[in-house]
Amino acid sequence: MRYSHYKDNKHIQCLLCKHYCTLQKDKAGICGINFNIDGKLQNKTYGYPSAINLDPIEKKPLYHFLPSSYSLSIGTVGCNFRCPFCQNYSISQTSVVNDAKFYAPQDIVNIAITHDAKSISYTYNEPTIWYPYAKDIGLLAKESGLKNVFVSSGYESAEVLKDMLSWVDAINIDLKSFSQEYYKKTLQANLKGVLHSLEFFAKSNIHLEITTLIIPNVNDSDEEIKMMASFIATKLGKDIPWHLSAFHPDYKMLDTQKTPIKTLLHAKEIAKSYGIKDVYLGNVNV
Ligand code: SF4
């Protein structure tokens, strides 16, 4: 796929995520890492992961995909969202790239094979904004028999969604709220765009699981949990696993209390009442 197109002789439009930023010469879009250089989209994190780790696949979280296997997990820097609770804000809310060592796509695949990983996960920060690097790795990984996993906020462009069908095997998407106002004002994105991606993946051959971070006084009301549960059960499917995770104070939300277990258990009860088969609690010991 083409990652950008010309708007006029001074601007290009980035086609990676639903922000569809118009980029002036030498300027970046909202994510801070995709630039218009000489009329071409240039991603300044290409080849420079901020983190490479071997994680259990359950940590993504994916509970119904290659269980008990390890996934080589990589992330870069930057994000197209502005979540005030981000647990990876030191890499997601910066555009400073550590370019001390270049990792070609084949280098990443070789590391995965050496460590007997069964998949490569594009995670830690939003992989949609560094899709060109992820895809170049992913195609080589596929040739070597490895699976490809995305961990995303679900704001892929229509062009990227279609393109992912050819090489991504599994995805975990965050459904952060069911309030358009919260998505718009706080996260600086659009709920409808995320719901569109969720519906797309639910109908696709890509394995889908969903995660919601339950935050006290933000998205933990019965009404909001019911709206999310109803959407999952009726529009996506009752067999799609839903992970309800506990919030811990972080980044700009240090004054908000962590999510009580009883809130998570209550949310799980609501989810179950809508017929959702697999509901898991995360970030807690129960
Ligand atoms: S990836 Fe998204 S946020 Fe970044 S420049 Fe492209 S459209 Fe804008």
Rounded percentage of the chain residues whose pLDDT exceeds 70 = 100
Tell me which of 1, 16, 126 to substitute to probe ligand 1's pocket, judged by most ligand atoms within 8 Å of the beta carbon: 16
Report the pLDDT averaged over residues 244-249: 96
CB 129 within 8 A of CB 135: no
> For the whole prediction, is pTM greater than 0.85?
yes
CA of 64 to the centre of ligand 1 (A): 31
Report the pLDDT averaged over residues 63-80: 98
Residue 70 has pLDDT above 80, yes or no: yes
What's residue 46's pLDDT? 98
Q: Per the structure block, which two tokens stand in for 59?
A: 């940590």
CB count within 10 Å of CB 144 equals: 12
Between residues 137 and 286, the one the model is more confident about: 137
For the four alpha carbons of 82, 88, 94 and 95, in that order, the dihedral sign comes to negative
Domain that holds residue 243: 4-282
Q: Which CATH number do you get for residue 232?
A: 3.20.20.70
Q: If we measure between CA atoms, which residue out of 133, 146, 24, 118 comes closest to residue 74?
A: 133
Residue 137 has pLDDT above 70, yes or no: yes
207-221 residue pLDDT tens: 999 999 999 999 999
First to last CA, the chain: 45
Report the pLDDT averaged over residues 179-200: 97
Burial 42-68 (b: 16+ CB within 10 A, else e): bbbbbbbbbebeeeebbebbbeebbee
Question: What's the mean pLDDT when you consider all of the chain?
Answer: 97
Query: Using CA positions, which residue lies closest to atom 7 of ligand 1?
Result: 20
In short, whether 34's Cβ falls inside 6 Å of ligand 1 is yes
CB 174 within 8 A of CB 211: yes
Residue 90 has pLDDT above 70, yes or no: yes
In short, whether 21's Cβ falls inside 6 Å of ligand 1 is yes
In short, whether 32's Cβ falls inside 6 Å of ligand 1 is no
CB 198 within 8 A of CB 210: yes
CA of 211 to the centre of ligand 1 (A): 23
Structural domains counted in the chain = 1
Residue 189 has pLDDT above 80, yes or no: yes
What's residue 286's pLDDT? 65
Residue 193 has pLDDT above 90, yes or no: yes
What's residue 9's pLDDT? 84
CA of 272 to the centre of ligand 1 (A): 37
CA dist 23 and 18 (Å) reads: 14
